[in-house]
């Protein structure tokens, strides 16, 4: 079985934000929530880099560990998903997440967080694959159709890679060897406790 | 003719100066330029680029600029959640288990050893007012909120390992959802209760010399003698300050969590959760002791908060100085024939 991961090659990202828009559109993500975003570090200074970041689908995911109602599950592909039927909107996953992935729609007057929403790796949720119910709660299930996450599929510079961790790491390594540089796989140490030699 | 020579001379100097300036600029810039190149002289665009490791060394998180309206999303990595996770999963559960089970074990042991502290002289049949209706209303409002807050809060920390296997995921999630609503909404009457308790009982709860003596004697429940006490003895004063300070800290940290990003970031909220969890668990343990003394532990104590009156002999045994004050004010009267259920006035 594949172990699905994301990898953002910061030396290729041109901060076009198309991944952000594609994600929002593909899943009809609610207003005010961004499952993916592009962050530019040292903006306007020499050596600035942009990184596209979403849920990294961590190994031994902290969100899953701290959830008081155990609403998270890791699929056979290593994708971290959650059930909005079980989620109580307590906010604990969001204290634990290193990548700021969990977000809550504002549903009430004060602090009443709604059901948590985050990147699903385009893999939906616990409902039947491709069902209307699944689409309304989690968005499209591209993985069930044999497709990779849309953000990575449509990335114009192929900066954002999605797929089996070993394969995308190999692609990245070859790039680094060929061009002679690479600023590393951002977030991999935190999410997967591993790094790609550059 | 002379002017032409002079002009040529000036042009010559200008050329020399210009060449020197150029040489200096090249000399200064060249080493910097050299760093941008790989050993094989190809350009290395990452020579000055930001690196994840270096950024983590500077700060415990990495932030930048982003173009979406939610500026919180501009922080891309903050691995401190890992420490918080360990606290929530391991440390807090140990603190809670030791504090609460330890207190329960202590109370069971104490009850077996000491039993209920009786009114030694027996009931006199005469009562005096201990708590007004308003005081009792505030006490029971705060107390009932506290019990629900404690159960719903314990559910967040201990529900998953203890209750979830019993109830199953759907039932447990439904219960936890209602518990969360109760926890959020009942925090308001609870906080109001803590504020009112703080104000209405502060006069009787400031430490005095009598408390030192009382503590030396071991109080009325541990020791067997009955040290002097005014309306509140040192043990009750301790409960008062636990409620006021502990309740204040729990309320403040709780509201920070309930209103995310109002003056906080995620690191602050992790700290707020640590404070909230630890103090709340110690608070629960302390209140178990309070409930024990108010019910099983001492004869004649519960009615003071329930009916508002206590037996005169109870007051003589536990709050002799207070009884003297009340007697001198003429507040202690003979009871009506029906007994103590009637108000004393």
Residue B11 inside a domain? The answer is: no
CB of A102 less than 8 A from some CB of B: no
Domains of chain A, residue spans: 4-192
Which residues constitute the domain of residue B226?
83-328
The candidate with the shortest Cα–Cα distance to B76, out of A194, A8, A27, is A8
Which pLDDT value is given to residue B7?
65
Report d(CA A3, CA A164) in Å as an integer.
Answer: 5
Three-class DSSP category at B95: helix
Q: How confident is the model at residue B59 (pLDDT cuts 50, 70, 90)?
A: confident
Q: Look at residue B164 and tell me whether its pLDDT is greater than 80.
A: yes
Residue B345 inside a domain? The answer is: no
Q: How confident is the model at residue A198 (pLDDT cuts 50, 70, 90)?
A: low
Residue B203 inside a domain? The answer is: yes
pLDDT digits (tens, 9 = 90+) for B69-111: 888 888 888 888 888 999 999 999 999 999 999 999 999 999 9
List CB contacts (< 8 A) between B53 and chain A: 184
**Contact call for B81 and A86, based on CB within 8 A:** no
| d(CA B103, nearest CA chain A) in Å | 25
Task: Give whole-number Cα distances, B139 to B71, B142, B146, B200, in Å.
Answer: 44, 5, 10, 11
Token pair for residue B16?
A: 């020399």
Q: Look at residue B17 and tell me whether its pLDDT is greater than 80.
A: no
- In a mutational test of the B interface, the residue from A7, A91, A95 whose CB has the highest number of chain B CBs within 10 Å is A95
**Contact call for B48 and A49, based on CB within 8 A:** no
Which pLDDT value is given to residue B225?
74
CB of A146 less than 8 A from some CB of B: no
Please report, rounded to a whole number, the percentage of residues in chain A having pLDDT higher than 90: 73
Which pLDDT value is given to residue A57?
96
Q: Tally C-beta pairs within 8 A across A and B.
A: 162
Topology classification of domain A4-192: Alpha-Beta Plaits (3.30.70)
Residue B103 inside a domain? The answer is: yes
Residue B12 inside a domain? The answer is: no
pLDDT digits (tens, 9 = 90+) for B253-276: 999 998 888 888 888 999 999 999
List CB contacts (< 8 A) between B44 and chain A: 180-181
**Contact call for B159 and A180, based on CB within 8 A:** no
pLDDT digits (tens, 9 = 90+) for B296-312: 988 989 999 999 999 99
Q: Look at residue B29 and tell me whether its pLDDT is greater than 80.
A: no
**Contact call for B81 and A95, based on CB within 8 A:** yes
Q: Over range B186-203, report the average pLDDT.
A: 95
CB of A31 less than 8 A from some CB of B: no
Q: Look at residue B32 and tell me whether its pLDDT is greater than 50.
A: no
> Could you count the other beta carbons within 10 Å of the beta carbon of residue A2?
13
Partner residue facing A90 (CB), from B48, B85, B180 = B180
Q: Over range B106-125, report the average pLDDT.
A: 90
Name the least confident of B118-132, B218-232, B251-265: B218-232
| d(CA A142, nearest CA chain B) in Å | 25
Backbone CA torsion sign across A42, A44, A49, A54: positive
Report d(CA B168, CA B173) in Å as an integer.
Answer: 8
Write the DSSP symbol of residue A42. T
| d(CA B104, nearest CA chain A) in Å | 25
**Contact call for B85 and A189, based on CB within 8 A:** no
CB of A187 less than 8 A from some CB of B: yes
- CATH number of the domain encompassing residue B154: 1.20.950.20
**Contact call for B159 and A69, based on CB within 8 A:** yes
Q: Look at residue B341 and tell me whether its pLDDT is greater than 70.
A: no
Q: Look at residue B67 and tell me whether its pLDDT is greater than 60.
A: yes
Report d(CA A97, CA A87) in Å as an integer.
Answer: 16
Q: Look at residue B140 and tell me whether its pLDDT is greater than 90.
A: yes
Partner residue facing B273 (CB), from A41, A95, A113 = A95
List CB contacts (< 8 A) between A34 and chain B: 68, 70, 73
Name the least confident of A152-156, B38-42, B269-273: B38-42
Model confidence, pTM: 0.83
Which pLDDT value is given to residue B71?
82
Which pLDDT value is given to residue B23?
64
Q: Over range A171-192, report the average pLDDT.
A: 89
Of the two residues B189 and B122, the one the predictor is more confident about is: B189
| d(CA A143, nearest CA chain B) in Å | 25
Q: Over range B195-201, report the average pLDDT.
A: 95
Q: Look at residue B46 and tell me whether its pLDDT is greater than 70.
A: no
What residues contact residue A29 under an 8 Å CB cut-off, 6+ apart? A23, A35, A117, A139
Which residues 80-99 of chain A have a CB within 8 Å of chain B? Answer: 85-92, 94-99
Which pLDDT value is given to residue A36?
95
Residue B69 inside a domain? The answer is: no
Please report, rounded to a whole number, the percentage of residues in chain B having pLDDT higher than 70: 84
- Total domains present in chain B: 1
Residue B153 inside a domain? The answer is: yes
């Amino acid at each position: 079985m594949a172990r699905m991961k994301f990898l953002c090659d910061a030396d290729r990202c041109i901060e076009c934000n198309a991944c952000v828009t594609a994600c929002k559109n593909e899943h009809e993500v609610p207003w005010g929530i961004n499952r993916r975003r592009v962050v530019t570090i040292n903006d306007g200074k020499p050596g600035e880099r942009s990184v596209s970041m979403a849920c990294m689908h961590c190994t031994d995911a902290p969100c899953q560990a701290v959830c008081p109602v155990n609403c998270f599950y890791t699929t056979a592909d290593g994708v971290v998903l959650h059930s909005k039927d079980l989620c109580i909107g307590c906010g604990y996953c969001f204290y634990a997440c290193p990548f700021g992935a969990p977000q809550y729609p504002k549903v009430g007057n004060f602090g009443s967080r709604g059901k948590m929403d985050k990147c699903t790796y385009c893999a939906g949720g616990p409902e039947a694959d491709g069902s209307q119910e699944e689409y309304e709660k989690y968005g499209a299930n591209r993985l069930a159709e044999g497709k990779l996450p849309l953000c990575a599929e449509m990335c114009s510079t192929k900066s954002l890679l999605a797929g089996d961790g070993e394969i995308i790491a190999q692609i990245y390594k070859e790039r680094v060897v060929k061009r002679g540089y690479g600023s590393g796989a951002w977030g991999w140490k935190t999410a997967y406790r591993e790094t790609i030699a550059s | 003719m002379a002017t032409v020579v002079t002009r040529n001379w000036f042009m010559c100097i200008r050329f020399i100066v210009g060449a020197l300036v150029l040489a200096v600029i090249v000399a200064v810039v060249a080493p910097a330029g050299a760093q941008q190149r790989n050993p094989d002289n190809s350009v290395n665009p990452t020579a000055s680029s930001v690196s994840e490791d270096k950024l983590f060394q500077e700060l415990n998180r990495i932030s930048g600029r982003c173009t979406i309206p939610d500026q919180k999303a501009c922080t891309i990595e903050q691995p401190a959640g890992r420490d918080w996770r360990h606290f929530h999963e391991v440390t807090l559960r140990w603190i809670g288990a030791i504090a609460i089970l330890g207190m329960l074990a202590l109370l069971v042991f104490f009850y077996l050893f000491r039993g209920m502290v009786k009114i030694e002289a027996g009931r006199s049949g005469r009562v005096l007012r201990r708590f007004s209706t308003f005081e009792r209303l505030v006490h029971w409002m705060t107390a009932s909120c506290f019990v629900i807050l404690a159960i719903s809060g314990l559910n967040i920390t201990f529900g998953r390992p203890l209750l979830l296997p019993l109830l199953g995921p759907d039932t447990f999630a439904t219960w936890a959802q209602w518990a969360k609503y109760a926890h959020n909404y009942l925090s308001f009457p609870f906080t109001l209760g803590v504020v009112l308790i703080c104000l209405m009982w502060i006069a009787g709860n400031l430490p005095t010399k009598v408390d030192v003596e009382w503590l030396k004697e071991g109080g009325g429940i541990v020791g067997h003698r009955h040290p002097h006490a005014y309306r509140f003895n040192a043990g009750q004063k301790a409960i008062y300050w636990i409620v006021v300070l502990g309740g204040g800290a729990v309320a403040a940290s709780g509201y920070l969590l309930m209103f995310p990003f109002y003056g906080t970031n995620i690191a602050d909220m992790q700290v707020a959760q640590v404070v909230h969890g630890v103090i709340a668990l110690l608070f629960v343990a302390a209140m178990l002791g309070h409930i024990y003394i108010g019910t099983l532990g001492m004869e004649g104590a519960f009615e003071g908060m329930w009916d508002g009156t206590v037996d005169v002999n109870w007051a003589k045994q536990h709050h002799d100085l207070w009884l003297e004050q009340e007697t001198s004010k003429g507040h202690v009267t003979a009871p009506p024939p029906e007994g103590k259920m009637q108000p004393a006035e």
